[in-house]
Structure 1
Amino acid sequence: MRLALLLTLAACCCAKKVVKQNFDVIRGDSAEDAVKFNRPKLVKRDDSTAEMVLINAQTFFMTNVTIGTPGQSMGVLVDTGSSDLWVQDVDNEYCDSTSDSSKRRVVDIDAFEFDKRDDIGGGELGGYTETVTGSSTADASIPTFTSGCNKYGGLDTSKSKSFKKNDTIDFAISYADSTAASGYWAHDVVNVAGVDVKDLSFAVANVSNSSFGVLGIGLTGLEATYVGSTATSSNHYQYLNLPYKMAANGLINTPAYSVFLNTASSSEGSVLFGGVDHSKYTGSLETVAIINTYAGYVDSPIRLEITLSGLTIASGDNEETLASGKFAALLDTGSTITYLPLDLLEAIANTIGASYSSSIGYYYFDCSIANDYKFTFDFTGAKIQASLSNFTLVGQGFCALGVSYSGDDSVILGDNFISNAYVVYDLENEQISIAQADFSGGSEDIEEIDSSGVPSAVKAASYSSTWTSDDDVSIATSVSLEATSNGGIVTASSGSAASTKSGSSGSSSKSSKSSSGSKTTSSSSSSSSSNTNSKSEGNSLKPTAMIAAVVLLMASAMAL
C-alpha cells in the first residue's frame, strides 16, 4: 500500500502540464453536410451551363467538450481566429429540428439589421439588433435547418448544478460567412480532453443561424466582451478565455498551444495546450513576433498575424523571388484556401502559366505541373516550404489554383498553407514559433512550455524586422520558370517588378473576406484582364463584428 502511494505521488509530481485535444477535420458545402474525408474539388454545375463550382469548400475542425455538472457533451469548432467559447442553448426555438416545414422557424440574416458602419476589416458588418422572422417557406437567401442547429449538441442550463449566468453584458457575434449568434454570458466547468477547467467564462446562444458552437482560442483582445458589438467604452472588459484560464488553474504553465493540422488529406488533427511535440516538425522551431496591425486603435495585437517578408518559387534547381518586403499575414485555420494581394496572385498565375476562368472563379492549369513548383514562405527568416500541389483544387480534367484575391494588400494563409507547418502560439509573449511539419508519425516527444518561451525554439534571423504601415513591398509581374515534369534544370530569368505600398494600419488594409473581390489594380496578364476573382463564401469563421466594434470604442473614447 505504501508503494502504491509512493507511485501515485511520483506520477503526480512528474505529470506534464499539457492537455492534448484532438479534433476531426470535416469538410462540406455547409456545416450540415460536412463530414470527414471530404476534399475540396471543382465539379460541373448541375445544369446546362459549362460553369464549375467548388464543393466541400468549407473546412471545420470539430472537437467535443463537456459542460456542466453533470457534464453535457457537444461539438464545437476549434478556431484560432476568434477568442470566445460559445455553445448552443437547447431552448433555442430557432433550432427546431422537426421536419415539418410549417413549424420550422428560420433566421433571416438580413433581419438582423447589421449596422452600416465601416469596420477595421474594411467591410460593413457591425453590431445588430435582433429581429427574427417565422416562416413556413424557405427562401434561398435565408438559412434554414433540416436537422436543427443543435445537430452537434447544445447545453441545457437547467440541468447543470454548477451553471452561473452572467448578466454584465449581452453576447453577440457575427462572422464573415453570414452566420451569427446572440445570447448571454455564463460560467461553468468545461471539460477539455478529460480535464476540468473550472469556472470558465463562455456564452450561450439562444438565437443563432449556425449549426454549432465555436471554441475560440485566440488573443483576449479579440473577445466579444472587449471589442464586440455590445461592448462600449464604459462596460467592455477582457476575461480569461480557455488558454488563459487553463494557465490560471494550473493545468498548463502559460497560455500557449501547438496546432498540428496533419496532411491536407488527413481527417484528424490536434491542439496541444501548454506544450510542444518535437516529433511533429523537422529542422528548428523559429520564433517570430505577433504584430499589431491595429496599432492606431489598440495597444496590443488582437489577431494572430505575423510578418511575411518574402515569397519565392522554384522549379528544379532554379528559384526566383515573387515578392519581398513586409506583408501582414494572418494564420487562419478557419480558411480552406489562401488569399493574397492581386498583384502577387497574378504573378503566381503568370509564372505557372495559369489562366483565369470566370466560369469557375479561379485560375486553372494543367494538373501535370502540380508537383513541379515549390514555394518558400519567409517570415523574417523562418521559412516554410509548400508544393504547388498543396494549393491545387482538382477539377474534372483540369486543376485550379487554391489561392484567391484577399480584397486588398493583406495576406491570409489558410489550411492549404498551415498544413505544411507546425505552429506554436505563445499568447503570453505575443510570439509564434513555426517549423516545417513532419508527417512521418514518430513517437511523441512532448515538452512543456513555460513563461520563458517555447523550448528549443530560436528567434528568427530577422525577428525585429516586422511589418509597419509604412513599409513598401516589391512584387514581380512574373518570373520565368519553365517547369519540367521530371524536375530537370531549366533556365530562369526574373520578370519585371512593381513596387506597391503595404496597407496602412487600421482601416483599408484589412480584408473582410467578402464575397466580391473585384480587381482594382492593373495587370500585365491578359488571361486575367476580366478577373473578378470572387472568393467563395463561407470559408472561414471570422468575427468581423468584434473587430468592427473597435471603431465604436475608439469613437467613444474620443468623445470622452
Structure 2
Amino acid sequence: MRSTTLTTTLTTTLLVATTVTALPELSIAKRHKHGARPVLQKRQDDEIVGTTVYDIITYSTGGAYYANLTVGTPPQNQVVILDTGSSNLYFDASSAPACQTDGAYACRGGTFSPAKSSSYEIVEPAPAFDTRFGDGSTASGPFASDTICLSDVCVSNVQFGVAQQVKSTTGYAIGLMGLGYSANEATRHEYPNIPEVLQASSEINSRLYSVYLNDEGATSGSILFGGIDVSKYTGPLQTLDVLPDARTRYIDQFITSVTALRTTVAGSSATIFANGATGVDAYASRSGSLPVLLDTGSAAWSVPPSVYRALLSQFPYITNQGVCDCSHADSDDTLTLTFDGAIEITVPAREFIVPLYNRTTNAAYTFTDGDQACVFMVVPSRGTGQGFLTLGDAVLRSMYVVFDLDQGQLSLAQANVNSTASPDVREVAAGPNGVKNAASRVQAAPSESGSAWPIAPQLSGSATQEFSVKTATTTVGAATGTAAVPADAQPSESASAAGLRVHPKLPPWMDWGYLCGVGMVVLMLFLISVPVWV
C-alpha cells in the first residue's frame, strides 16, 4: 500500500514541506492580502508537491481559503473553496447562465465543460445534485465522474456535482471542495468525497487531514491529508471527541464546544463566560457552553447576540455595525477560547479585525480621516436550529486542527504561525492510536467516547468502484501570486471613488451610505456563516 500525506494550499498563501519521503504532499498556498507573491515549495525527493491556494478578500467578506485543481481529460483548471463544513465536491459548468455573464455574481473560479473531457461520465442526471447555502446561494445539476488532479496526484472515477445552474448572492460564483462526512452530501446516494477517495485509493491510511491556515497576513499555510506537521503547532495537541448531532446522536459534522471565553483589551482582561459544560451536555440550553462547527468555509465566528453585545462592551473602538479603524488590528488585544474545557487558544486582534473591501469594485472601504475600514469577524446569530453555530477562519487561523473522520475526533493546538522551523510531517496510521503515535505532545480526549464514536457512512453506488491513481506530467497550480488569481477578483490596493468613504468630520453612524454598506456586510457575514444542507 502506498501511504501518503497530501497537502493542499489555503486562502492566504500556504506552503508545506515534509521530511517524510513516503508521503506525497499537496501544499496549500494563500495569497497575501497586500499582493505579496507566495513562493511554491520546492519538492523534496520527488514526493512533496506544492500547489497554490490563496485568499481573495472579494470572493467572500473576510476572505476564504481556495485551492487549485483540475478536472477532465485533458485537464481543465478549477479553483475551489476548501470547506470542512460541507461534503460535496462540485464545479461550475461553463454552460451555466451565471458563468456566461461578467457581473458581480459571475463565475470567477474557472468553469468545467464536460464536452471537452473524454473521461467524463454522468452518474445521475440533473437535478440529482441540488444544494443550497445559508446565504441563499444555490447550485444544481447532474452528478458525474471524471479524473481529478490535486498537485501531481491524479485519481480517476472521482464523483462530483456539475452546477449547470448556479446562483451566488454574496459575490463571485466559485466551485467547492467539501471535506466533511459524506452523510451530509446533497444527494440521495452517498458517494466517496475527496478524503474517502484518497483513503480508498490507498493514498492515505485513514480519513484524516490537518489544517494550518497560518497568520492572516502570512504567505503560507497548509492542509495535509493523511498526516500531521508537528512543526506547525506549539504546546500540547489536545484530542477531543467530536460532539454527535444534537438530534440524531450520530457524528457527521465537526462539532465541539467553546466552554469559556475571555478578552484582553488595552492590557485589561475580562471574562465573557466560563465553566461551561463539556461533552454532549454542552447542548443543554443552560449549559453555559457554545457548541460550534469548525468550518473553514466560513470567514467569521457566529455567536449568540448576548455574547456579541458582551464582546462589543469590551472593544470600545468597534461600532455597533461591527467596524473600526484598521489600526486596531495591530494592537495587542486578544480573544482566548477554551475548547471542551481542555485547551485554550489565543487569537490576536489581526486575525479577527480584517480589511473591508467592496465586493463589486474590489476597492478598500475607508473609515474616518481616510484610514482603511476593518470589520470585526465575530458576528451575532440567533442560531441555525441545529444546536450549534459556526466557528470560521477568524479563529481557525490561530489553531492547528487535525480532523479525524474515522475516529470521530478533533485534535487542537495553538498554531505556530509564521513558523521558520523546518517542516516535520508525520504519517498517521489507521486506528484509534494513529494521531497519538504519529505526533508529539498529544493529550487524549478528556471524555469517554461511548456514543460519540463515528458512524462510518456506507459508500453506495461507486463504493466498489476502483480508483486509478497516476502522477501528472505537470503540477497543478504552479502559478503564484497575482498570476494565480483571476484578474476580476484581485482586490484593489487602495480606496477609490468606487469605495465607500466617510467624511473625516462625521462619525460613521451619521453617514447613511456607510451604514447601508456596512449593514450589508454584517448581514452577509451572518448568512455566510450559516450552513444549510439539503
Instruction: Report the TM-score range of the alignment, normalised by the length of the smaller protein.
Output: 0.5 to 0.7
Q: Deviations over 1:323-347 (max 9, x none)?
A: 1213201222222222211222222
Distance 1:321 1:240 in 2: 43
User: Normalising by the residue count of structure 1, what TM-score does the alignment of the two structures yield?
Assistant: 0.62
371, 375, 382: which is aligned to 2:335? 375
1:442 pairs, out of 394, 397, 421, with: 421
Tell me, yes or no, if structure 1 residue 74 matches structure 2 residue 53.
Answer: no
Q: Deviations over 1:440-499 (max 9, x none)?
A: 23211001122233222634563449999xxxxxxxxxxxxxxxxxxxxxxxxxxxxxxx
Report the CA distance shift for 1:314/1:542 in structure 2 as closer, same or farther (over 3 A).
closer
Q: Hey, what's the Cα distance between the residues in 2 that align with 1:270 and 1:237? A: 31
Matched, 1:350 2:291: no
Q: Choose from 134, 147, 152 the match for 1:194.
A: 152
Kindly indicate whether the alpha-carbon contact (under 8 Å) linking 1:404 and 1:533 is maintained by their aligned counterparts in 2: no
Q: 1:414-453 to 2 correspondence within 5 Å?
A: 414-438=392-416, 439-452=418-431, 453=434
Residue 88 of structure 2 corresponds to 84
Going from structure 1 to structure 2, the CA distance change for 1:200 and 1:39 (only over 3 Å counts) comes to: closer
Cα RMSD for the two superposed structures: 3.5
In structure 2, the residue matched to 1:133 is: none
1:26–1:68 CA distance, 2 compared to 1 (3 A): farther
Q: Which residue of 1 aligns with 2:161?
A: 203
Structure 1 counterpart of 2:310, one-letter code: A
Q: Structure 2 matches for 1:207-286, cutoff 5 A?
A: 207-210=165-168, 211-225=173-187, 236-286=188-238
**1:166 Cα deviation after fit:** 0.9
Task: Report the equivalent of 1:312.
Answer: 262
Q: Secondary structure at the match of 2:30?
A: strand
Q: Is the 1:335–1:540 Cα contact (8 Å) retained in structure 2?
A: no
- Structure 1 residue 57 and structure 2 residue 61: aligned? yes
Matching residue's letter, 2:257: T
For the structure 1 residues 22 and 161, does the alpha-carbon distance in structure 2 shift closer, same or farther, using more than 3 Å as the test? same
Residue by residue over 1:163-221, the C-alpha shift from the partner in whole angstroms, topping out at 9 and shown as x without a partner, is 22112771111122222111000112211111112211111111113422111111112
3-state SS, counterpart of residue 81 of structure 2: strand
* Structure 1 residues not aligned, in runs of 5+: 1-13, 29-34, 41-54, 100-143, 226-235, 469-531, 550-560
2:523 maps to which residue?
A: 536
Deviation, structure 1 residue 85 = 0.5
SS in 1 for 2:524: coil
Q: Is the 8 A contact 1:349 1:363 kept in 2?
A: no
Cα distance in structure 1, aligned partners of 2:311 and 2:99:
44
Kindly state the Cα deviation for residue 152 of structure 1 after the two structures are TM-superposed.
2.7
Counterpart position of 2:442: 458
Question: SS state of the match for residue 334, structure 1?
Answer: coil
Partner amino acid for 2:232? K
Correspondence list, 1:73-222, <5 A: 73-97=77-101, 144=103, 148-149=106-107, 151-167=108-124, 170-210=128-168, 211-222=173-184
Determine if contact 2:210/2:223 at 8 Å carries over to the other structure. yes
Which secondary structure does the structure 1 equivalent of 2:94 belong to?
A: coil
What amino acid is aligned across from residue 19 of structure 1 in structure 2? Answer: E
Residues 446 and 539 of structure 1: is their aligned pair in 2 closer, same or farther, counting only changes over 3 Å? farther
Percent of pairs identical after alignment? 27
- The 3 A distance-change label for structure 1 pair 447 and 162 is same
Q: Partner amino acid for 2:180? A: G
Relative to structure 1, the CA distance from residue 316 to residue 17 in structure 2 (aligned partners, 3 Å threshold; closer, same or farther) is same
Q: What corresponds to 1:392 in structure 2?
A: 353
In the superposition, relative to structure 1, how do residues 539 and 259 fare at CA in structure 2: closer, same or farther (>3 Å)?
Answer: farther
1:321 aligns with 2:278: no
Aligned pair partner of 1:407 in 382, 387, 403: 382
**Corresponding residue for 2:253?**
303
| C-alpha spacing 1:442/1:369, structure 2 compared with 1 (3 Å) | closer
What SS does the aligned partner of 1:245 have? helix
For 1:490, the equivalent position in structure 2 comes to none
Structure 2: gaps spanning 5 or more residues = 1-19, 35-52, 277-288, 356-366, 453-517
Query: Could you say if the C-alpha distance between residues 340 and 370 of structure 1 is closer, same or farther in structure 2, counting changes exceeding 3 Å?
Result: farther
Structure 2 vs 1, CA of residues 410 and 367 (structure 1 numbering), >3 Å: closer, same or farther? farther
Counterparts of 1:58 and 1:539, CA distance in 2: 12
CA contact (8 A) 2:265 2:314 kept: no
Residue 412 of structure 1, CA deviation = 2.7
Q: Rg larger in 1 or in 2?
A: 1
Are residues 369 and 411 of structure 1, via their aligned partners in 2, closer, same or farther at CA, if it must alter by over 3 Å?
same
Q: Post-superposition shift, 1:25?
A: 4.7
Q: 1:461 to 1:433 in 2, by over 3 A?
A: closer
Letter in 1 for 2:86: S
Structure 1 CA distance for aligned equivalents of residues 450 and 353 of structure 2: 30
Inter-partner Cα distance in structure 2 for 1:355 and 1:282: 30
Q: Match of 1:257, SS?
A: strand
Deviations 1:405-464 (A, max 9, x none): 122484432212111111111111111111111122321100112223322263456344
Deviations 1:87-140 (A, max 9, x none): 12223344224x6xxxxxxxxxxxxxxxxxxxxxxxxxxxxxxxxxxxxxxxxx
Aligned twin of 1:556: none
Q: Could you give the per-residue CA deviations for residues 268-289 of structure 1, whole angstroms, max 9, x where no partner exists? A: 4321111111111111211112
Q: Higher mean Cα deviation, 369-378 or 159-168? A: 369-378
How far apart are 1:543 and its partner, in Å?
8.1
Q: 1:102 maps to what in 2?
A: none
- 1:262–1:161: structure 2 CA closer, same or farther, 3 Å change rule? same
Q: 1:355, 1:167 → 2: CA distance?
A: 50
Distance 1:245 1:345, change over 3 A: same
Q: Distance in 1 between matches of 2:242 and 2:349?
A: 27
TM-score (norm 2): 0.65
Task: Specify whether residues 39 and 247 from structure 1 end up closer, same or farther in structure 2 by C-alpha distance, changes over 3 A only.
Answer: closer
- Counterpart contact for 2:299–2:525, Cα < 8 Å: no
Q: CA separation in 2, counterparts of 1:536 and 1:466? A: 39
> Is the 1:252–1:273 contact (alpha carbons within 8 Å) kept by the matching residues of 2?
yes
Which residue matches 1:362?
322
Q: Deviations over 1:60-101 (max 9, x none)?
A: 32221111222222111211111111012223344224x6xx
Deviation at 1:375, TM superposition (A): 2.5
Q: Which amino acid aligns with 1:341?
A: P
Structure 1 window deviating more from structure 2 (14-23 vs 77-86): it is 14-23
Mapping 1:9-48, distance limit 5 Å: 15-25=21-31
